[in-house]
Amino acid sequence: MEQRQAAAREAGRARRRTRQHSRSARRSANSGPTSVDPLTGTFAPALATPLSPCSEATDDSSPADLRGAARQVVNLVSTAAQSTLTTGQEAADDGTLKRLRLRDQRRRLREAIQRFTRLSGLKGCGTRLTGERVGVHVGKAAARFAGLQSCHSVWSCPICQARIRAARSVELEKAALAWLKAGHGLYMATLTVPHWSRVRLASQVKDGHKCAGQRSCTCRCKCPVLAPARNVPKPPCTCACPVDPGQLARVVEAWRGVQGGTWWTGRHVIRDGAPALWSQGWEDDDQYVRRQEFDGQGRPAGPATVWQNGFRDRWGIVGTTRTIEITYGANGWHSHAHVLIWTEDPATEARAEAIEEELYARWAKRCKAVGLPTPARGEIREKDGKRVRKGVDVTPVTIEKAGPLAKYVVKLQEGGALAMEMTRYDLKVARGEKGMTALELAAIAAAGNGQAIELWREYEFATRGIQCLTWSQGLRERLAHLVELDEREDDQIPDEETAETPEAPSLLITREAWWRSIVPVHGARADILHAAEVGGLPGAIGVLDKLGLVHGVDYGPPDQMSGPVLPSIPQLRRGQAARTARRDRRKAVDDAVLTRTPAQWAHGQEQRRAATQRQTEARAAQTTATNDKLAAADARRAQAADEFARRRAALRHNPAAASTFEHAEPRPVRLSTSTYLDDMAAARQAPPGAPACTLCGGELATALVPVGRHTMC
């Protein structure tokens, strides 16, 4: 009895500590991200103050550097000190101030990430120019740059992922609302797996192989192109280095296996090696239905067979929407999937429990197949009888009225917003022991934590090329009949500030001033935009003046600055084509082993062999031509030396000529160029009537006519 009471008291203390941690997280969410300490596992704020030019997270005392230039820390705008709008702007409400503070934190966090990231696109996001000028668009409580590149990373960039996820959140909420209003059902499934601190997130080639440490094998295949015999399959390639999938790849593959088998779609009942024929005895079991095939003219093609319904048909599932979420905590990386299940019938709590039972069995089987730990089934909570701490959680989605305007918002049964849970991963904060999000990890890395920097780089390495939000085939076409969907690509979604700022730029900054005075100063870009949002155009001009830019030379209004304002359409298309080509090349390298046929491998090997042969022949021809030129030059030099020796011997055997040459007072001959020496060394017999040398009879140059002989004679 005393032991049970002691255990109850200890459990009560643990619950109180958890509630205290949750309250601390909510209080610190407005000022900065919170996290679980990656070293101790304790809950603590990641940064005590918002990111600013003088904060610890963006201090340039750290060894990380951008473009190899020394950084200057300039305190131009204090983020914490800006509480109201000034200079002709109206006082903003709490929502506006919170939005401005959040934008400023994202911009400063992106600049901090650019110091240690290994993604080239993220390094140039908001930094590299697409034209010759950078436009500054200033509106009411909003400002933005124009003419800069964007990385469009939905995983790693705080700016781009907020822009993309916000658009996808609106689209998902509209589609879910229209689907529920049409009388259909919607379930939210969360699928998790156990995780430990030593689990690796990213996939990489196993140790001991040539490509160890890389994400995929890049070895050239040397297997025989043709099969050993006719109608015999080609043996698997043994040249590729084996890849050990990470936790993220295993979770994605596990969910793909849930939807990719007959358990999901259904199958024919096989009897004696053939589909079983339909009879009256099959009608008693609900999981079997009659299936009839028809030909092109609509007539029955053969007898009816027995079809065993899969999970999709049993519950009337139209499609699914999957998103992946990654956190890091005391138990290491935690990758889990959120799946929306769209059904024909309305969602109920009883159906959700039944779906959860079947989905858990399938999820546990697929996790074991891909090498993940078996997810927990959970335990029954005594106070309400609900199952908690489970690996699969299915919740029905309902419509609730929110606010005085009776605006319909799609919510989960537990009270959370559906779009927030599915897409707005960038707005989430740490929740107790569940760990921290990627942006909170980046904030700790920006403060100089070496372990956090390595974890962030592993996160970048793992999420590169992974789709964040996916729709099952045919689902968007079905939803298009109910609501207009957003068909834009990620790079076509504009920033939030675009609609709040004028189309024409308020100021233009030259390329030289941008790279000389703004990019090297850490936090300057965020300072310019934050000053413009808080103080309007005078605030932005004040920051530019403090940075040392000269008005009218380095920046100014569009009518005073010459040159192109924004990149042209061909420039943007060339940039997009270059990015697409790079992405296609990376994808081709990753998928080459799986997608290329033996004939394609043979053709590629022939092309490489022919290219190598052409290069060898070109090098041999170039070597031969060089050797011929060197031999000809050596022959000319030897001939000139022989001629010089002959003439010197003739002069030695003629004492009178030698005495005259030695006692004469030669006059200096000034040659215009040194080519006359070659002409004299290779002198020819003078033609009749031309000036000739008195000793050798060779033709004399005009400069040597007064002397009467060659210098060497």
Q: Which residue has the higher pLDDT, 197 or 18?
A: 197
- The answer to whether the CB of 247 falls within 8 A of the CB of 195 is yes
Q: Which residues are paired to 334 by β-bridges?
A: 327
Query: What is the predicted pLDDT for the residue at 248?
Result: 93
Q: Residue 669's pLDDT band (boundaries 50, 70, 90)? A: very low
Distance CA 164, CA 153 (A): 9
Distance CA 711, CA 627 (A): 33
What does the chain come to in residues?
Answer: 713
Query: What is the predicted pLDDT for the residue at 598?
Result: 77
pLDDT at 214 over 70: yes
305 CB neighbour count, 10 Å cutoff: 18
Q: Which of 67-81, 300-314, 582-596 has the highest mean pLDDT?
A: 300-314
Query: What is the predicted pLDDT for the residue at 51?
Result: 34
Longest CA pairwise span in the chain (Å) = 139
What is the H or E stretch that residue 143 is in? strand 142-146
- The answer to whether the CB of 134 falls within 8 A of the CB of 145 is yes
- The answer to whether the CB of 51 falls within 8 A of the CB of 58 is yes
Query: What is the predicted pLDDT for the residue at 7?
Result: 57
Query: What is the predicted pLDDT for the residue at 648?
Result: 75
Query: What is the predicted pLDDT for the residue at 27?
Result: 53
| pTM of this structure | 0.64
- Spatial CA neighbour of 127 closest among 519, 606, 579: 519
- The answer to whether the CB of 231 falls within 8 A of the CB of 278 is no
Q: Residue 426's pLDDT band (boundaries 50, 70, 90)? A: low
Name the residue type at position 122.
Answer: L
Q: Which residue has the higher pLDDT, 87 or 497?
A: 497
pLDDT at 681 over 50: no
pLDDT at 384 over 80: no
Distance CA 548, CA 442 (A): 31
Name the residue type at position 472.
Answer: S
Where does residue 494 fall: left (phi above 0), alpha (psi -120 to 50 degrees), or beta otherwise? beta
What is the H or E stretch that residue 570 is in? helix 569-595
pLDDT at 3 over 70: no
Residue found under tokens 């590729």: 240
Distance CA 57, CA 51 (A): 6
Distance CA 428, CA 325 (A): 11
- Spatial CA neighbour of 351 closest among 363, 338, 341: 341
Q: Which of 78-82, 298-302, 437-441 has the highest mean pLDDT?
A: 437-441
pLDDT at 50 over 80: no
Tokens of residue 657, six digits: 């000529």
Number of helices followed by number of strands (H, E) in the chain: 18, 21
pLDDT at 504 over 60: yes
Query: What is the predicted pLDDT for the residue at 99?
Result: 87
Residue found under tokens 């080459």: 592
Tokens of residue 94, six digits: 């709490």
pLDDT at 97 over 70: yes
pLDDT at 340 over 50: yes
Distance CA 488, CA 495 (A): 13
Lowest mean pLDDT among 310-324, 425-439, 662-676: 662-676
Query: What is the predicted pLDDT for the residue at 49?
Result: 35
Q: Which residues are paired to 374 by β-bridges?
A: none
Lowest mean pLDDT among 93-107, 414-428, 481-495, 665-679: 665-679
- The answer to whether the CB of 669 falls within 8 A of the CB of 707 is yes
Q: What is the pLDDT of residues 393-423, one digit of tens each?
A: 999 988 774 333 333 445 454 445 665 556 6
What is the residue-averaged pLDDT of the chain?
77
pLDDT at 73 over 90: no
Query: What is the predicted pLDDT for the residue at 258?
Result: 93
Distance CA 46, CA 57 (A): 10
Distance CA 328, CA 35 (A): 9
Q: Which residues are paired to 393 by β-bridges?
A: 190
Q: Which of 306-310, 476-480, 602-606 has the highest mean pLDDT?
A: 476-480
Q: How many CA atoms lie within 13 A of 214 on its CB side?
A: 14
- Spatial CA neighbour of 320 closest among 172, 177, 421, 465: 172
Query: What is the predicted pLDDT for the residue at 565?
Result: 52
Query: What is the predicted pLDDT for the residue at 75?
Result: 34
Distance CA 444, CA 156 (A): 14
pLDDT at 96 over 50: yes
Distance CA 17, CA 37 (A): 16
The DSSP secondary structure of 239-268, one letter per residue, reads SSPPEE--HHHHHHHHHHHHHSSHHHHEEE
Name the residue type at position 219.
Answer: C
- Spatial CA neighbour of 526 closest among 34, 180, 55, 132: 55
Distance CA 419, CA 654 (A): 111
Lowest mean pLDDT among 103-117, 416-430, 563-577: 416-430
**Rounded to whole angstroms, what are the CA distances from 522 to 31, 131, 504, 662?**
21, 22, 27, 79
Name the residue type at position 317.
Answer: I
**Rounded to whole angstroms, what are the CA distances from 38 to 93, 218, 527?**
37, 34, 31
Query: What is the predicted pLDDT for the residue at 446?
Result: 92
Query: What is the predicted pLDDT for the residue at 489?
Result: 87
Strand order in the sheet with 392-402: 407-412, 392-402, 185-191, 332-343, 317-329, 469-471
Q: Which of 105-119, 199-213, 217-231 has the highest mean pLDDT?
A: 105-119
The DSSP secondary structure of 435-500, one letter per residue, reads -B-HHHHHHHHHTT-HHHHHHHHHHHHHHTT--SEEE-TTHHHHHTTTS------GGGPPPGGGTT
Q: Can you say whether the dihedral through the CA atoms of 695, 701, 707, 713 is positive or negative?
A: negative
- Spatial CA neighbour of 225 closest among 589, 609, 601, 610: 601
pLDDT at 1 over 60: no
pLDDT at 279 over 90: no
Q: Which residues are paired to 137 by β-bridges?
A: 144
Lowest mean pLDDT among 307-316, 401-410, 581-590: 401-410
Q: Residue 62's pLDDT band (boundaries 50, 70, 90)? A: very low
